[in-house]
Chain A
Amino acid sequence: MSAALALRAEWAKFTTLRSQWITPLLAVLLTTGITAAVQAAYGRVDTSLEDDPAGGIYYGLLFGHVAVVCSGVLLVGQEYASGTVRASLAAVPRRGRFYAGKLLLGTGVGLVVGLLSVAGTHLATAATVGLDLGQPGAGRSVVAGVLYHPLLLVICLGATAMLRNLTAAMGLLTPAVFLGTTFLTALPGVREAAYFLPDRAGLYAMNYRADPAVPYGHWTGLLVMALWAAAAAWGGLVSLQRHDA
């Protein structure tokens, strides 16, 4: 019962603070909107048969997932930035329970953003260049596209709980996801290791076709990302339990 109350408190925090619910909304709008715009403008003329359909469908995600990162960072970081974390822990003194409330809300928000974004991008693609969900890999791509969102959000939520600082988390995670891994995969020496970074692995799971350069399969990519999410969530819990608030 008390765990349910912790979740209800997190839901109330989420709905009473504009920046918290606008950010995930922005993620859906960015991903869907940019995909729709790009597909409408270039989709039909620029797509050759060899191209992976996922590249067009998820084009907007390259922008939208920055908002997903922000959403995960804000859920925990705003507690530390405002000092509300003390009131939160006075209200829910069992830290595991408090953190479970955060994780559940974050996962839920991520799932909703994932479902809406994937639905939006697929509808936009169907309406512009056309969509064949019977193609091999299409079903998996949809599943991976939805799950990518809660996994990324949980990674950022957990990392922020480890850092216990909004500014540090924002400064570290946003460029890491937006720029970092793209640069890293371009460097010959670290390319192999960079494939195991969470967003790379998660994005690969959405591809219809296999890339021989990637050292694992599609489902394994999703698993790699899930392992990152589990590690971040666990790290955040340890940090929360270890430190004085």
Chain B
Amino acid sequence: MIEVRNLTKRYGATTAVAGLDFRVEPGRVTGFLGPNGAGKSTTLRMVLGLDRPTAGEALVHGRPYAALEAPLRRVGALLDAHAVHGGRTARGHLRWLAASNGLPRRRIEEVLEQVGLAEAADRRIRGFSLGMRQRLGVAAALLGDPPVLLLDEPVNGLDPEGIRWIRTLLRGLAGEGRAVLVSSHLMAEMALTADHLVVVGRGRLLADLSTEAFLAQHGRARVRVRAVDPLKLADLLRTSGTAARPVEGGAWEVSGAAPEEIGALAARHGVALYELSLLQDSLEEAFMRMTADAVEYRAVAA
């Protein structure tokens, strides 16, 4: 379990993380979402005690990370798959990690097997593909069989097969009752992986809710309607005071109403409809809209 309370990090005049509050509960995958530069990695580094917060605190199992004895048995982390020495073999890398926390040697073989690197265990990491490095990073995180896992952008640069593997693995780990926090800037990916979402933008908390609730709240529903007589429909929508806007092909999009209401309204006034459908924003669109004000680096139209 991870608790982040009023966590703040400032670098001079720049505020990377501004008073974050959230919890990562066991038994589910928590997606830590935000555009690039939102402060996700900084937050994770503070949770791991690598960066010192300007204010606030991050607790793991109720204590600061640095106070944990044998922390790899309590928390497994994948920060940057490239931050390994290329001259070591996969097994050599895991060997020093195991030694640092007094973990049994058999764990090295177990995690190598689990992530599918058993064959490559004695090859130097420098020759690994990004996918293999990510797998090694996951192996390192799993080494101490920890109840809490933190993974920073684990699907970055992976092929579809690798992405599916990570997704299945994370769901499985949460299914075993572990607390899994996984950061990403890919909303669609998180919709498939995460049970719960913590959304940040410019270091601020924008949302902390279940994936379903996020969709219901932010994936604004609209009704698309098209009639035999478009002018009659336009009149009807205008006089009934619904918020509607015309779209291409003579159709209208009505927001803030259910298809049932529109259908009944049309029937009462004798307007024959060709089409009546519910449109749900994708998670990606909801995310874009939500973080639109909080994106630090945006392409500016010339």
Contacts and interface: CB of A to CB of B under 8 A. Distances in A.
A pairs with B: yes
Interface in B88-141: 88-89, 92-93, 95-102, 140
B264 interface: no
B261 interface: no
Given A86-B50, A91-B72, A6 B95 contact: no
Contacts of B88: 16-17
What's the interface size class on A, roughly? 20 to 34
B87 A19 contact: yes
A12 B50 CA distance: 22
A18 B102 CA distance: 23
Classify the secondary structure of A's interface with B.
helix
B246 interface: no
A190 interface: no
Classify the secondary structure of B's interface with A.
loop
Contact of B80 (A16, A86, A93): A86
B40 to A, nearest CB: 15
A6 B100 contact: yes
What's the interface size class on B, roughly? 35 or more
Given A87-B140, A89-B49, A82 B85 contact: yes
Interface stretch (B63-71, B172-180, B195-203): B63-71
A245 B102 contact: no
A83 B50 CA distance: 12
A16 B95 contact: yes
Nearest to A4: B102
A117 B231 CA distance: 98
A78 interface: yes
Contacts of B80: 83, 86
Contact of A16 (B45, B52, B89): B89
B99 A8 contact: yes
B296 interface: no
B254 interface: no
A90 B71 contact: yes
Given A12-B95, A86-B83, A91-B101, 20 more contacts: A5-B100, A5-B102, A9-B97, A9-B99, A10-B96, A12-B96, A12-B98, A12-B99, A16-B88, A82-B83, A82-B84, A83-B84, A84-B84, A86-B80, A87-B84, A90-B48, A90-B50, A90-B79, A91-B72, A94-B66
27 contacts: A2-B70, A9-B99, A9-B100, A10-B96, A13-B96, A16-B89, A16-B95, A16-B96, A18-B87, A78-B85, A82-B83, A82-B85, A82-B86, A86-B48, A86-B50, A89-B49, A89-B50, A90-B71, A90-B77, A91-B72, A91-B100, A93-B48, A93-B49, A93-B65, A244-B52, A245-B45, A245-B51
Interface of A: 2, 5-6, 8-13, 16-19, 78, 82-84, 86-94, 244-245
